[in-house]
Amino acid sequence: MPATARAALFFGPGKPFELRDVPIPEVEPEGVLIRVTVANICGSDLHFWRGDAPLKLPEDGWIYGHEMTGRVAKLGARVKTDSLGRPLKEGDRVAYTYFYPCGRCYACLHKEPSACPNKIERAVGPSVFPHLHGAFADHYYLRPGGAIFKVPDGLSDEVVSPVNCALSQVIYGLTVAGLRLGDRVLIQGAGGLGVQAAAVAKDMGASCVIVVDQIPGRLELARAFGADHTLNIREVPDRKERVKLVRQWTDGVGADVACDLVGFPAVIPEGIEMLRAGGTYLEIGTISRGAKVELEPSLLVWGSKKIVGVFQYDPWVIPRALDFLVRTKTRWPWERILSHTYPLEKINEAFAASEWHNKDTLTITRAALTP
């Protein structure tokens, strides 16, 4: 076992990542050291990189990133199985959580770990144990209490890598939103979450899936993942016309469930307007604290519309997401989710190429680092 890991440290928006050697910790009895094989650049990572989500960073930098997969490098002395009780050994491919519900707060005691206010801690630097806090490194330390699951044979690391973030997030979000057989679903944003949400919605029984974006390549990918209709806001710049189109595609009713998977709050009022009376608006994308949007509350009252916020999923979702990938392996082109891979040494190039904001075209759908 090497004494150090290679990690990319973030020092703030507009500053390049710096590669440093970070100590590999002594593995606690219930901890797991993981050799990261694929670490994706998620939309939320771009928010931090741009500075959309202000954050106080430690002086010694921050190893961030969370959407990843890897292999067991070392098991703690008490870890014999994965979270489903299946034998686990060094070298096994695994998917795992990156957040740690406290188990003591009101939400946790009511069996709602996804709502735990303590599950995401402040950004800490590599000088703080267990040093390896994020995905953008060649190792990750799964702390005691983290959920871990063996990956089925037949799924590549590239296909599995979105499981612990984007895929599980949309499975959980659509479940919480109450998606039912035959529902019409509107998805704002055809990034990693939006494209996978289209496939999940179809698998859950949605009769019509509409995806809205401004980048043609993303909309084409959404169609490949089950979207019945796509709407390019550059081709239909008038909001009223977009709402009218959604009404037409939903038999004049509106969407049963609409989802913000963009991450910019300006889309929220339009999404709520596209809902049917009694519909549910699922808010996942906007994580930036302090971001505001003007909203007319009477539209919710008179329309009996609901807003549901989801920040993270419950751990039970991961094995279901893996099973979903196995079941739909030939139905949807999962290998297309990741379009580009970069070595860790080229992380700055990878982030720059992944930036989509204010761009008309984009060749990258989702980039990944292979430490």
Distance from C-alpha of 29 to C-alpha of 27, rounded to nearest angstrom: 7
Q: Does some domain include residue 317?
A: no
Mark whether 56 and 173 lie in a shared domain: no
Residue 177 and residue 69 share a domain: no
3-state secondary structure of 290: coil
* Domain identity same for 157 and 35: yes
Q: How many domains does the chain have?
A: 2
- Whether residue 330 lies inside any domain: the answer is no
Is residue 323 included in any domain, yes or no? no
Q: CA angle, corner 59, sides to 53 and 64, nearest 5?
A: 50
Instruction: Provide, for the chain, the percentages of residues in helix, strand and coil under a 3-state DSSP scheme, each rounded to the nearest 5.
Output: 30, 25, 50
236, 248, 196: which is closest to 212 by C-alpha? 236
One domain for residues 87 and 122: yes
In a domain, 71, yes or no: yes
My answer on whether 126 and 175 are in the same domain is no
Query: Residue 368's CB: how many other CB atoms inside 10 A?
Result: 25
Identify the DSSP state of 284: -
Q: If we measure between CA atoms, which residue out of 158, 137, 154, 226 comes closest to residue 190?
A: 226
Side-chain-facing half-sphere of 9: CA atoms under 13 Å: 19
Please indicate, yes or no, if residue 320 is contained in any of the structural domains.
no
Q: What is the DSSP string of 291-322?
A: ------HHHHHHHT-EEEE-S---TTHHHHHH
Regarding beta strands 32-40 and 275-283, do their DSSP bridges make them parallel or antiparallel, or are they unpaired?
unpaired
Q: What is the pLDDT along the chain (371 residues), one digit of tens a residue?
A: 889 999 999 999 999 999 999 999 999 999 999 999 999 999 889 989 998 877 889 999 999 999 999 999 999 999 999 999 999 999 999 999 999 999 999 999 999 999 999 987 789 999 999 999 999 999 999 999 999 999 999 999 999 999 999 999 999 999 999 999 999 999 999 999 999 999 999 999 999 999 999 999 999 999 999 999 999 999 999 999 999 999 999 999 999 999 999 988 899 999 999 999 999 999 998 877 777 889 989 989 999 999 999 989 999 999 999 999 999 999 999 999 999 999 999 999 999 999 876 666 566 778 999 99
Kindly report the CATH number assigned to the domain that includes residue 210.
3.40.50.720
Q: 138 and 214, same structural domain?
A: no
- Does residue 240 share a domain with residue 302? yes
Structure-token match 């994965």, residue found: 82
Judgement on whether residues 186 and 131 belong to the same structural domain of the protein: no
Render 165-194 in DSSP notation, one character per residue: IIIHHHHHHHHHTT--TT-EEEEE--SHHH
Q: Which two tokens stand for residue 231?
A: 């709407």
Which of helix, strand or coil describes residue 240?
helix
**Distance, CA of 156 to CA of 177 (rounded, Å):** 30
Q: Are residues 15 and 106 in the same domain?
A: yes
Where residue 44 sits, what CATH number does that domain have?
3.90.180.10
Which amino acid is located at 23 in the chain?
P
Q: Both 281 and 360 in a single domain?
A: no
One domain, residues 30 and 131: yes
* Amino acid letter for position 274: M
Do 180 and 65 have their domain in common?
no
Domain span including residue 288: 166-309
